[in-house]
């Protein structure tokens, strides 16, 4: 696997390196030791999948607060998605910065989203499926989000959002938190 650092500290584009022969290909998409070597959370507590029948569907921007903060490894198993990580960690110079990567089954790219960062994606094709590996189980009381169109982030979505849940549409605008003294 290749780990490509992004401008968001702790966020990586992870790309499997498939072995190919006459049968097809085989690749590792998870290795605890490699994640640990790169300083990433190697815990795996839950795997989730989201299916989206229409292009232009937006999910996010979601995260869980402490003590249930979670890291995610996200991949696209069908269709195409534009996957976004937003740094929400107070006091970092990258707070409110974002990074995005287009993911398809063909390019094999995955996005590692560290704890304290928000995550969302926009489907680029009909019938898109996205899978998340999470380091912590879903905790409804810690689950929250921020608006996908918040000017505090200025995310340049690559196409119009045509489908979004009321919950995601109505997340509050971002409010910075002062770092501990």
**112 noted as active-site residue:** no
How far is 137 from 78, CA to CA, in rounded Å? 24
| Cα-only R_g, the chain | 16
**133 noted as active-site residue:** no
Identify the active-site residue in 112, 119, 121, 132: 132
Structural tokens at position 106: 């063909």
Give the number of other CB atoms < 10 A from CB of residue 170.
10
Tell me the residue ranges of DSSP E strands in the chain: 2-5, 12-15, 19-21, 24-26, 46-52, 58-64, 72-78, 81-87, 98-103, 110-113, 117-123, 128-134, 143-145
Q: Which residues are catalytic?
A: 62, 132
């Amino acid at each position: 696997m290749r780990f490509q650092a992004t401008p968001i500290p702790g966020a990586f584009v992870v790309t499997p390196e498939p072995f190919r022969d006459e049968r097809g290909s085989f690749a590792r998409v998870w290795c605890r030791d490699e994640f640990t070597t790169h300083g990433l959370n190697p815990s795996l507590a839950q795997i989730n999948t989201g299916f989206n029948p229409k292009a232009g569907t937006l999910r996010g921007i979601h995260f869980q607060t402490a003590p249930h903060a979670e890291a995610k490894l996200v991949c696209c198993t069908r269709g195409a998605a534009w996957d976004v990580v937003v740094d929400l960690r107070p006091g970092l110079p990258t707070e409110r910065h974002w990074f995005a990567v287009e993911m398809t089954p063909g390019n094999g790219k995955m996005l590692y989203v560290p704890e304290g960062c928000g995550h969302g994606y926009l489907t680029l094709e009909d019938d898109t499926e996205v899978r998340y590996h999470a380091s912590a189980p879903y905790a409804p009381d810690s689950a929250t989000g921020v608006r996908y169109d918040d000017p505090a982030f200025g995310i340049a979505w690559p196409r119009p959002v045509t489908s979004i849940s009321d919950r995601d549409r109505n997340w509050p605008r971002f409010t910075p938190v002062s770092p501990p003294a």
